[in-house]
């Protein structure tokens, strides 16, 4: 609450006039007090006390979880529950940074009688993030605005702008171990499935239709065909959030592309019935424990929504990815532009897990945003390109599957090209 601010100004002026009048012993000087005194008295008489102000606010948000750049309608209703008219009510809904108002007003001045209500309504959008709205600021004054009372009306709300994702298809992963439940990941085990896996001796109880008649005729004994079992697997997504691995041009950032790629991959693997965990590596180790299903997808999207870059010295390299964080033999998918020093770490990681690297191309990203493209730029790009190819080839040689992704193109095309066929 702010006290009667003008009271002190007017009171001081009145006292000064009184003092000067007394010192100079001039009665007519005291008359100058009159206009000030009238205003002061009116202000006090009309003034509103804190106890008389009973305002409540209620916030309604059209949709609490949206995709990046979608729009939400926020409506805040303020009700005067007091018995007195509030002649001047200033309302301000201070929005957190990152939330953009597309239409409507977040500020309003109005007058509220007993039982009357006012509403603020606006449309907002944001690129990505979790935005918490706590309270509405209100400033209440009387007719003369003499006594202004500042209030914070609680009306909590939350809007989540999750990263956009692509519909990915045909990504074949080959983890060293799979879970017992059936899924879409090739388990390297014979049994029931779709793709031919091999043949074996007939055992009593094998289905008649699975007998391989050609092999049986050739070998002179009953042979059963086997198919590769398809099961679910553990998938660990690692999002590289190191600030030094990012490139920002204007308000566009390669990190945002990585976040979108991570969201698309998370959705794809969850839809395949896999158990998916997520590690955001950069600011700190933001770990989302592996899980299945729609609820897990929501958890992963929430984690990606709050993902921020970090420049902690301890996370400069990828050495601090805890080896036992993901179940042994699971599929690791690292989303990173990659730095030279990361190669060795990935080689070591490959010893324990199957590793896929989805690497948004920093050269293409930067080149597309350069204002001038002359011969020097082209030469620099070619050198950069060669170095990157060399780095990616080192990874491929180490058995890491690499998706070299131009962030301006859809991820699904690059992923399909690099990951649709399984090389064992």
Q: Which residues bind other proteins (CB under 8 A)?
A: 4, 6-7, 9, 11, 13-14, 16-18, 20-22, 24-42, 44, 46-47, 49, 51, 87-90, 105, 107-112, 118, 141, 143-145, 147
Cβ of 87: how many Cβ atoms within 10 Å?
17
Nearer CB in complex with other proteins: 10/368:
10
Residues in the chain: 424
Nearer CB in complex with other proteins: 35/156:
35
Residue 393, token pair as written in the block: 């080839």
Report CA torsion sign: 265, 266, 269, 272. Answer: negative
Nearer CB in complex with other proteins: 59/179:
59
Here the contacts of 248-251 (C-beta below 8 Å, separation 24 or greater) are 249/365, 249/366, 249/369, 250/369
The neighbouring-strand residues paired with 117 are 79
Cα separations in angstroms, 388 against 194, 338, 376, 393, 404: 38, 9, 18, 8, 10
Nearby residues of 402 by Cβ (< 8 Å), 6 or more positions away: 356, 357, 359, 392, 395, 396, 418
Nearest distance, CB of residue 136 and other proteins, angstroms: 14
User: What sections of 241-351 are H helices per DSSP?
Assistant: 254-271, 293-305, 342-350
CA-CA distance, 72 to 75, in Å (whole number)?
A: 10
Nearest distance, CB of residue 152 and other proteins, angstroms: 18
Nearest distance, CB of residue 59 and other proteins, angstroms: 18
Nearer CB in complex with other proteins: 43/277:
43
Nearer CB in complex with other proteins: 39/210:
39
Nearest distance, CB of residue 132 and other proteins, angstroms: 24
Nearest distance, CB of residue 97 and other proteins, angstroms: 18
Residue 136, token pair as written in the block: 């509405």
Nearer CB in complex with other proteins: 27/205:
27
Nearer CB in complex with other proteins: 18/380:
18
CA-CA distance, 260 to 163, in Å (whole number)?
A: 6
Nearest distance, CB of residue 82 and other proteins, angstroms: 15
| Enclosing H/E stretch for 24 | helix 5-24
Nearest distance, CB of residue 106 and other proteins, angstroms: 10
Nearer CB in complex with other proteins: 90/182:
90
Residue 234, token pair as written in the block: 């553990």
């Amino acid at each position: 609450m702010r006290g009667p601010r003008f009271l002190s100004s007017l009171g001081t002026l009145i006292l000064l006039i009184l003092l000067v009048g007394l010192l100079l012993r001039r009665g007519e000087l005291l008359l100058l007090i009159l206009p000030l005194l009238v205003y002061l008295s009116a202000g006090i008489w009309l003034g509103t006390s804190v106890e008389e102000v009973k305002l409540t606010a209620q916030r309604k948000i059209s949709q609490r979880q949206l995709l990046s750049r979608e729009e939400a309608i926020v409506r805040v209703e303020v009700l005067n529950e007091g018995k007195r008219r509030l002649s001047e009510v200033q309302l301000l809904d201070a929005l957190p940074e990152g939330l953009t108002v597309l239409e409507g007003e977040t500020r309003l001045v109005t007058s509220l009688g007993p039982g009357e209500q006012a509403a603020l309504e606006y449309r907002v959008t944001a690129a990505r993030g979790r935005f918490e709205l706590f309270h509405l600021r209100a400033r209440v004054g009387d007719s003369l605005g003499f006594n202004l009372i500042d209030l914070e009306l609680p009306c909590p709300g939350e809007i989540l702008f999750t990263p956009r994702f692509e519909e990915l298809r045909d990504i074949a992963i080959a983890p060293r171990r799979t879970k017992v439940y059936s899924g879409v990941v090739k388990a390297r085990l014979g049994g029931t499935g779709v793709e031919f896996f091999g043949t074996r001796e007939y055992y009593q109880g094998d289905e008649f239709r699975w007998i391989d008649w050609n092999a049986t005729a050739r070998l002179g004994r009953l042979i059963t065909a086997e198919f590769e079992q398809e099961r679910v697997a553990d998938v660990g997504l690692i999002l590289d959030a190191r600030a030094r691995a990012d490139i920002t041009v204007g308000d566009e950032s390669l990190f945002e592309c990585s976040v979108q790629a991570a969201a698309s991959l998370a959705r794809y693997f969850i839809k395949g019935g896999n158990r998916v965990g997520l590690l955001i590596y950069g600011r700190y180790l933001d770990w989302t424990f592996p899980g299945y299903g729609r609820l897990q997808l929501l958890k992963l999207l929430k984690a990606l929504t709050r993902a921020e870059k970090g420049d902690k010295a301890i996370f400069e390299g990828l050495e601090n990815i805890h080896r036992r964080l993901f179940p042994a033999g699971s599929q690791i998918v690292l989303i990173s532009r990659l730095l030279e020093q990361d190669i060795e770490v990935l080689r070591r990681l490959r010893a324990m897990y199957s590793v896929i690297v989805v690497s948004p191309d920093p050269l293409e990203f930067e080149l597309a945003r350069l204002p001038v493209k002359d011969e020097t730029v082209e030469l620099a790009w070619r050198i950069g390109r060669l170095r990157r190819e060399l780095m990616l080839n080192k990874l491929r040689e180490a058995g890491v599957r690499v998706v070299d992704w131009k962030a301006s193109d859809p991820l699904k095309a690059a992923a399909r090209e690099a990951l649709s066929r399984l090389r064992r």
